[in-house]
Amino acid sequence: MEEQKKKVILSGIQPTGIFTLGNYLGAVRNWAKMQEDFHSAYMIADLHALTVRQEPADFRKRILSCYALLLACGVDPEKSIAFIQSHVPAHSQLSWVLSCNTQFGELSRMTQFKDKAAQHADNINAGLFTYPSLMAADILLYQADLVPVGVDQKQHLELTRDIANRFNGVYGNTFTIPEAYTAQGAKIMSLADPTKKMSKSDPNPNGCILILDEPGAIVKKFKRAVTDSDMEVCYREGKDGINNLMTIYSAVTGLSMDQITADFAGKGYGDFKAAVGEAVAEHLRPVRERYNDLMNNKDYLVECYRKGAEQAERIARRTLDKVYKKVGLLAK
Ligand code: TRP
């Protein structure tokens, strides 16, 4: 029987802190599922995080704990390449060449750059501006076919495709043109303001569930979740709070929206919120336990990220060598 060639998938997450329930249900949990069907590489994008000023000692710890979170969420270093971006120098190296093949005008149109520049008016550094060229390098080094990204990264992926197509046109076929893979997790909204995405920087700490939160804290936050003034647990336009809770409940239990509506017919929001809180707390319990085990076994973590870096390096180096040759750099 002819075996179909497995596609290559790559994604990354910045080590900005403990992952939220949104990061988990929207992205990282699905990466773990996808490693069964694809050649997968997942990385901690530490170089990207340097576009914002970091406190060095704290940053170093956070990179390690985010790597542990990646594994705790189910990314299996036996099935995927799980690595840390800065451990593979080819990312920075290709990023330079790609920067020289990316236009100022293109980078200026990136909405994330405009937003971040407005947020950090005191530190609009060049890295913040060229960030998409580094992301393009991350993706193109592995000749990725598919890139699972949220909507906020879609524009960067489009730019990656433009850069790759242009490069291929000028220098001959070099890069696989990647596609966004958005048929993935649910978009999780803030529990305090369900019109906004769940975020660690939510001004209201009850809006955001972190995946290492204690069960009691999780249940409490769900009890306080903002809903609406009618009574029915059903998915309908205008019921942002209930829609969000149903999305979360469905994601952790596997129940359909209709089943949830049927199960909670005649019951109040209080019962529903308690059920969601408990289901989430139970679902995250093994993740928290695995994380604690991993953090108590640093030698194993080091072994994993070193192996990941070696595997990544081998693939990345091949692409970088090809690019250096194509653009006419002299081999040493
Ligand atoms: N920029 C992405 C984010 O902030 C993280 C990231 C870096 C990434 N490199 C990537 C995502 C490559 C997908 C592919 O969410």
Neighbours of 270 (CB within 10 A): 10
Residues tagged in the binding site annotation for ATP: 14-16, 22-23, 150-152, 188, 197-201
Instruction: Report the C-alpha gap between 298 and 290 in whole angstroms.
Output: 13
Query: What is the per-residue pLDDT for 2?
Result: 45
Instruction: Based on the fold, state whether residues 165 and 288 are members of the same structural domain.
Output: no
Query: By residue range, what is the domain housing residue 242?
Result: 205-292
Q: What is the DSSP letter of 39?
A: E
User: Does 273 participate in catalysis according to the annotation?
Assistant: no
Instruction: Based on the fold, state whether residues 105 and 165 are members of the same structural domain.
Output: yes
> What is the four-CA torsion angle of 17, 23, 24, 28, rounded to 10 degrees?
-100
Instruction: Based on the fold, state whether residues 311 and 277 are members of the same structural domain.
Output: no
| Model pTM score | 0.95
Q: Amino acid identity, residue 198?
A: M
Instruction: Tell me if 199 is assigned to some domain.
Output: no
**C-beta 45 within 6 A of ligand 1:** yes
Instruction: Based on the fold, state whether residues 77 and 169 are members of the same structural domain.
Output: yes
Instruction: Tell me if 332 is assigned to some domain.
Output: no
Instruction: Tell me if 3 is assigned to some domain.
Output: no
Mutation test of ligand 1: which of 9, 70, 153, 160 has the most ligand atoms closer than 8 Å to its C-beta?
Answer: 153
Instruction: Tell me if 196 is assigned to some domain.
Output: no
Question: Could you tell me the CATH number of the domain that includes residue 212?
Answer: 1.10.240.10
What is the 250 CA–ligand 1 centroid distance (Å)? 26
Instruction: Based on the fold, state whether residues 16 and 93 are members of the same structural domain.
Output: yes
Instruction: Based on the fold, state whether residues 46 and 97 are members of the same structural domain.
Output: yes
**C-beta 149 within 6 A of ligand 1:** yes
Q: What is the pLDDT along the chain (332 residues), one digit of tens a residue?
A: 445 689 999 999 999 999 999 999 999 999 999 999 999 999 999 999 999 999 999 999 999 999 999 999 999 999 999 999 999 999 999 999 999 999 999 999 999 999 999 998 999 999 999 999 999 999 999 999 999 998 889 999 999 999 999 999 999 999 999 999 986 678 899 999 999 999 998 999 999 999 999 999 999 999 999 999 888 999 999 999 999 999 999 999 999 999 999 999 999 999 999 999 999 999 999 999 999 999 999 999 999 999 999 999 999 999 999 999 999 999 99
Mutation test of ligand 1: which of 10, 135, 152, 154 has the most ligand atoms closer than 8 Å to its C-beta?
Answer: 135
What is the 155 CA–ligand 1 centroid distance (Å)? 11
38 near 5, Cβ under 8 Å? no
What is the 44 CA–ligand 1 centroid distance (Å)? 9
Q: At what angle do helices 154-171 and 126-141 cross, to 10 degrees?
A: 70
**C-beta 110 within 6 A of ligand 1:** no
pLDDT digits over 5-30, tens only?
899 999 999 999 999 999 999 999 99
Which of 7, 33, 61, 116 is flagged as catalytic?
116
**C-beta 12 within 6 A of ligand 1:** yes
Instruction: Based on the fold, state whether residues 154 and 119 are members of the same structural domain.
Output: yes
Instruction: Tell me if 191 is assigned to some domain.
Output: no
Q: State how many domains the chain has.
A: 2
- 30-59 burial code (b ≥16 CB/10 A, e <16): bbbebbeebbbbbbbbbbbbbbeebeeeee
Instruction: Tell me if 44 is assigned to some domain.
Output: yes
Instruction: Tell me if 218 is assigned to some domain.
Output: yes
Residue 301, C-beta contacts closer than 8 angstroms, at least 6 positions apart:
64, 67, 68, 71, 294, 295
Instruction: Based on the fold, state whether residues 173 and 230 are members of the same structural domain.
Output: no
Instruction: Based on the fold, state whether residues 82 and 131 are members of the same structural domain.
Output: yes
For residue 313, give both structure tokens. Answer: 């390096």
User: Does 114 participate in catalysis according to the annotation?
Assistant: no
Query: What is the per-residue pLDDT for 3?
Result: 56
What is the 129 CA–ligand 1 centroid distance (Å)? 15
Which of 61, 187, 196, 200 is flagged as catalytic?
200
Instruction: Based on the fold, state whether residues 283 and 315 are members of the same structural domain.
Output: no
Distances (CA, A) of 2 to 5, 57, 145, 221: 9, 51, 20, 51
Element (H, E) at 147: strand 146-148
Query: What is the per-residue pLDDT for 1?
Result: 45
Instruction: Based on the fold, state whether residues 168 and 142 are members of the same structural domain.
Output: yes
The protein residue whose alpha carbon is closest to atom 13 in ligand 1 is 11
Closest among 238, 228, 235 to 262, alpha carbons compared: 235
User: Does 307 participate in catalysis according to the annotation?
Assistant: no
Instruction: Based on the fold, state whether residues 216 and 154 are members of the same structural domain.
Output: no
Instruction: Report the C-alpha gap between 227 and 235 in whole angstroms.
Output: 12
